[in-house]
Amino acid sequence: MHFPVSGVDINPLIPPLVAFMLSFLTAPAGVSGAFLLLPFQMSFLNFTSPSISPTNLIYNIVAIPGGLYRFIREGRMAWPLAWVIIVGTLPGVFLGAWVRIFYLPDPEAFKLFVGCVLLYLGIRLIIEFTDGSKKQKSHNKALDEKFKERVAQKKANTSKQVAAGIPADVIVLTKTFTFRKIEYEFWGETYSFPTMTIFILALVVGLIGGIYGIGGGSIIAPFCVSILNLPVYTVAGAALFGTFLTSVAGVGFYAILSTTSSGASANVAPDLLLGSLFGIGGLAGTYCGAYAQKFLKETILKGIMAALVILLALEYILQFFF
């Protein structure tokens, strides 16, 4: 099948299948999978024009609601964290789209910078498996054991498979939400962090996401887990929510720019059909991945996140030198 906007020729079944596999793997860690789709499109589909960025964002728009619905339904959404991510990311994604078209049509140098940042975050996650914060590791281990015990209890008390999600008492409760500090409680543990730290991070992530067509969950999620020491069970939903809304804004902005003479000459119009096919597979994958999250140990989720972040970092860094 030929996609005229992107110039890609591919069997229409392949995009949703690839997207399903990637999103099922990444959704439990709060990542939509768009950052892995970008290298796939560039390397395997030879899709390298600037329109790849908004096309990748279309994937987010279609794919994320499935997983997002489960996080909201099961009370695993840290709303203060989500709103600050959105407020910080939106202006960044507009600026990123502008930079992508007019200042970085060839983004290898900037990819090198992004790769270094992601590599640092990935290394931080790996360090936590060895000699990281012992206090936080013990807290996270205890939290993980609570999940395992509760799931085992529900299985013992019913002959049916656990399908209703995490029990009602395992929800995110907001305690403080001010310009200075965000504080919430999750299963007896209280987590707090500076509001401006997340806002500034989200602003930078929005810039990166606007340029490359990734929502930013691949950066925000590991930062919140490895540096702010937040449990991944509460970070994933907020990261996906921020990715979804900023992707909507990014596609809209790219579509507007494509109507200008500069945007048209740079070929920035999104490929709606190709992006939607990726998104359909991603929709099923994020829904299933969000459901599977509660059955996975936090160490496994961190391992998945670390591996994905490092792979992306190496992809960006190696592209600069080779």
Which residue's structure tokens are 């887990």?
A: 225
Could you tell me which residues come within 8 angstroms of residue 265 by beta carbon, excluding any fewer than 6 positions away? none
Distance of alpha carbon 51 from alpha carbon 69, whole angstroms? 29
- pLDDT value of position 177: 93
Enumerate the β-bridge partners of residue 275. Answer: none
Secondary structure (3-state) at 79? helix
Nearest one of 232, 66, 35, 27 to 139, comparing CA atoms: 232
Which residue's structure tokens are 């279309």?
A: 58
Which residue's structure tokens are 């490092």?
A: 310
CA-to-CA dists, residue 178 to 127, 137, 224, 235, 276, angstroms: 32, 28, 18, 19, 38
Q: Count how many residues are written for the chain.
A: 322
Question: How much is the average pLDDT of 186-200?
Answer: 89
- pLDDT value of position 295: 74
Secondary structure (3-state) at 9? strand
Enumerate the β-bridge partners of residue 9. Answer: 2
Which residue's structure tokens are 């099922």?
A: 24
Is the overall model pTM greater than 0.95, yes or no? no
> Is the pLDDT score of 199 beyond 60?
yes
Q: pLDDT tens digits, residue range 157-191?
A: 544 444 344 555 568 889 999 999 999 988 778 89
- pLDDT value of position 12: 93
Which residue's structure tokens are 């299933």?
A: 288
Alpha helices in the chain (DSSP H): 14-26, 34-44, 52-73, 79-102, 108-127, 134-157, 195-212, 217-226, 232-258, 261-265, 272-293, 298-321
- pLDDT value of position 176: 93
Per-residue confidence band for 100, with pLDDT thresholds at 50, 70 and 90: confident
- pLDDT value of position 243: 86
Q: pLDDT tens digits, residue range 253-277?
A: 888 888 888 777 878 889 999 999 9
- Whether 96 and 211 have beta carbons less than 8 Å apart is answered as yes
Taken in order 128, 131, 136, 139, is the CA torsion positive or negative?
positive
